Structure 1
Amino acid sequence: MSFDLVVLAAGTAANLDDVRAMADRSVGRPRVEGDPDPRVAAFYEDLREGFSDDPAYDGDSPWVTTPLVVGVDHVAMSIVHSPVGDDAVDLVLQLAEKHGLVVYDPQGDEATGLHGDYADAVG
Structure 2
Amino acid sequence: MSYDLAVLGMRGPVDVEAARQMLDRCRSGGDHAEGDLDERIVAFYEELRAHFPDHPPDATNGPWMSTPLDIGIDHVIMCMSYSERSAPAIEKIMELAALHDLVVYDPQFVEVLVPVPND
User: TM-score normalised to the size of structure 2?
Assistant: 0.87
Give distance in 2, aligned partners of 1:19 and 1:75: 13
Equivalent runs, 1:14-93 vs 2, <5 Å: 14-30=14-30, 33-57=34-58, 60-93=61-94
C-alpha distance 11-67 of structure 1, shift in aligned 2 (>3 A): same
C-alpha distance 58-68 of structure 1, shift in aligned 2 (>3 A): closer
- C-alpha distance after superposition, 1:37-90 (max 9, x if no partner): 000000000100110001443652100111100000000010002222111111
Q: Which runs of 5+ in 2 are unaligned?
A: none
C-alpha distance 118-58 of structure 1, shift in aligned 2 (>3 A): closer
C-alpha distance 60-34 of structure 1, shift in aligned 2 (>3 A): same
Are positions 1:4 and 2:4 aligned together? yes
RMSD: 1.9
- C-alpha distance after superposition, 1:85-108 (max 9, x if no partner): 111111111110010000000000
Contact (CA 8 Å) 1:32, 1:71: kept in 2 or not? no
Tell me the percent identity: 41
Q: Which runs of 5+ in 1 are unaligned?
A: none
Runs of 4+ in 1 over 4 A off after TM superposition: 30-33
The Cα shift of 1:33 comes to 4.5
Give distance in 2, aligned partners of 1:39 and 1:91: 15
Q: Helix, strand or coil: the match of 1:79?
A: strand
1:100 corresponds in structure 2 to: 101
The one-letter code of the counterpart of 2:103 is V
Give distance in 2, aligned partners of 1:24 and 1:88: 23
Work out the number of aligned pairs and report it.
Answer: 116
User: TM-score normalised to the size of structure 1?
Assistant: 0.85
